[in-house]
Structure 1
Amino acid sequence: MTEEREERPASGLRRLVFLGGKGGVGKTTLAAAYATMLAARGERTLLVSTDPAHSTSDVLGVRLTGEPTEVETGLSAVEIDAAADAARYVEGIKRDSKESVSPEVLPTIERHLDLAKGSPGTEESALFERFVDLISLCPAEYDRIVFDTAPTGHTLRLLALPALLSVWVEGMVRQREKVAGMERMLRNLAGRDEPAGDPVLERLRERRQRFHHARHRLLEDTTFYLVTVPERLPIEETERALSTLTAGGVHVGALLVNRVLPERAAEGDFMRARLDQQREYLREIERRFTGYRTVRIEQDARDVTSRSQLREIAARLKDAGLG
């Protein structure tokens, strides 16, 4: 209970916020606006982009890197480079291997690790490690962290990793404990001194604790906002994502229906037809997602390219009561 009180603000709001959905529905713009809203009300906010497209720099008009950069008072942002993180991740495994693997076997292991650098599984594992590092900054350095995620499938795999990796590391710990027990027995029989510690086992236990903690934060301290638009394919993908998130115990805060054409735009046969179809989809969204709050964000007349436009969208999110 103590850990939860430390990680949840006094208001009861969850500190970690994810915005996800189908590619192209405007997640990056809404994530940046949401983070802007939080910073404007005095919360130290970190905006994190896990999307390989790295559009967050473009939306904010600031060159971002793999480390937090201050955008404005109370708001910092970071773009995760999964490929670079994967390379560092593999190098870290190499360093650990030197402590626990015989010199004869080490070159073979290093060759396999070099081949693994570019694999999707390696990048996702590295991305998750970076994710764990970043959430550890909250609440000590940031009051809230907003994640602009990759398209739905990639995000759902990322959210599933804590459980999968926890099981995998748990098995590795048990295997290492068995090996360590055999090594102790052999040293005793040979009359050799006991070494100071087992660096491999210590590292595995540390990783196990990190993964357990990350899983706890995802289940107890996370709100997920699904972003969609009033069109057929995004609605279908939203329903699948909602089912997966709720089955996994992730709290869904609301559905953000983006790029809603204003009714005042009904001029000409084409626009009237578009609005008629949009009304059908909006009714379908309300029907299919009964029980979940929906928030509509109207389409701007022009592309969002300035901080002032972000603040306008942030004001709409605030008026909608999002927190």
Structure 2
Amino acid sequence: MSAARPICFVGGKGGVGKTTVSAALAAAMAAAGQRTLLVSTDPAHSTGDLLGRPLGGDPVGVADDLEAVEIDPQAAADAYVEAVRHDVHRAVSPEVRATVDRHLDLASRAAGTLESALLDRLADLLDGAGTRWDRIVVDTAPTGHTLRLLAMPELLAGWVQGLVRQREKARGVDRMLRNLAGDETPADDPVLERLQAQRHRLVRLRELLHERARVHLVLIPERLPIEETDRTLLALDDAGLSVGTLVVNRVLPEHADGDFLAQRRAQQRDYLDEIDRRFADRDRLQVAQLPRDVADPDSLAEVQRQVAALVTR
């Protein structure tokens, strides 16, 4: 395993314990003296419950060297749309502003706008890696959402660049008409400025994901999570993203007793052997199933102890 990167994404199939592993990993990093930010992008937003305190859209301290934030995609989208509305109103005539407002109001509820706004807010936070924070841990939504999120900077950067070229062409025609009318005063273009800024932001985020981020995947020893992990690894490799450790969660301890648990352990043993065989070239870490739910800071401490090895990965 190569040297640890400052940004860690934690992904995997829904229900495998991503939030628990993310929170435990962030706590372990903070306990090691690293200024750490835990970011939740999962709409379920259970991170605050696990840490025992409410979280919002801005980072708050939850322990020594540990801050946490839950991104609200709708709030981020509303703020983004309002900023766009301000810029567009400066660039268009009063007659068309009502039409623009109707389109923006619809756009603020669109899925693509929500994901784009979440990406923008995430980009702001990730820019603090290595400066405000030594490490950033991102607790992601289930696999499909995570893969879209990681792929979006690459896709949107090209799309925004196309919009920039179209806007520049339109601006060139406008400048020519103004010159013919004898008006050579340079005209501000807030729309073009915003597009340029967005393109630079996406390029920067793409660099961060490829050069400074690593993706840890959480799975449990069952058939469907194993298959989904296999597909996710292929997708991450194809995208050129760095894969870290496979965290095999909820492994039944050998001392668990009773016939029922013995049968469950035997089946798990088969799946654990398959995980070792299929992912032999990947770094792996097992986390034992605890006797009770992990639902508060006290129970989280035991998982933190088990995932502490990830701090240097």
Compute the TM-score of the two structures, normalised by the length of structure 2. 0.96
Q: CA deviation at 1:96?
A: 1.5
- Equivalent pairs counted in the alignment come to 312
Mapped pair 1:263 → 2:263: no
Q: Is the 8 A contact 1:172 1:204 kept in 2?
A: yes
Which residue, out of 305, 308, 313, partners 1:318? 308
Instruction: For 1:86-105, list aligned pairs within 5 A.
Output: 86-105=77-96
Distance 1:141 1:321, change over 3 A: closer
Name the structure 1 match of 2:265.
275
* Structure 2 unmatched ranges of 5 or more: none
Q: Is the 8 A contact 1:184 1:194 kept in 2?
A: no
Name the structure 2 match of 1:126.
117
Instruction: For 1:22-171, list aligned pairs within 5 A.
Output: 22-171=13-162
Name the structure 2 match of 1:207.
198
Deviations 1:177-197 (A, max 9, x none): 111211221111111132253
Q: CA deviation at 1:319?
A: 4.3
Which residue, out of 277, 300, 321, partners 2:290? 300
2: CA distance, partners of 1:198 / 1:97: 9
Q: CA deviation at 1:28?
A: 0.5
2: CA distance, partners of 1:137 / 1:320: 21
- SS of the residue aligned with 2:95? coil
Name the structure 1 match of 2:229.
238
2: CA distance, partners of 1:268 / 1:140: 51
Instruction: For 1:167-246, list aligned pairs within 5 A.
Output: 167-195=158-186, 197-246=188-237
Pick 1 or 2: higher relative contact order, CA cutoff 8 A, min separation 6: 2
Deviations 1:153-178 (A, max 9, x none): 11111111101110111001111111
1: CA distance, partners of 2:215 / 2:286: 16
Compute the TM-score of the two structures, normalised by the length of structure 1. 0.93
Name the structure 2 match of 1:247.
238
Q: CA deviation at 1:320?
A: 6.2
Equivalent AA in structure 2 for residue 298 of structure 1: A
Mapped pair 1:290 → 2:244: no
Equivalent pairs: percent with the same residue?
54
2: CA distance, partners of 1:121 / 1:196: 31
Equivalent AA in structure 1 for residue 268 of structure 2: Q
Q: Is the 8 A contact 1:42 1:74 kept in 2?
A: yes
What RMSD, in angstroms, separates the aligned Cα atoms of the two structures? Answer: 1.5
1: CA distance, partners of 2:240 / 2:96: 42
- SS of the residue aligned with 1:170? helix
1: CA distance, partners of 2:87 / 2:187: 17
2: CA distance, partners of 1:269 / 1:200: 67
- SS of the residue aligned with 1:263? coil
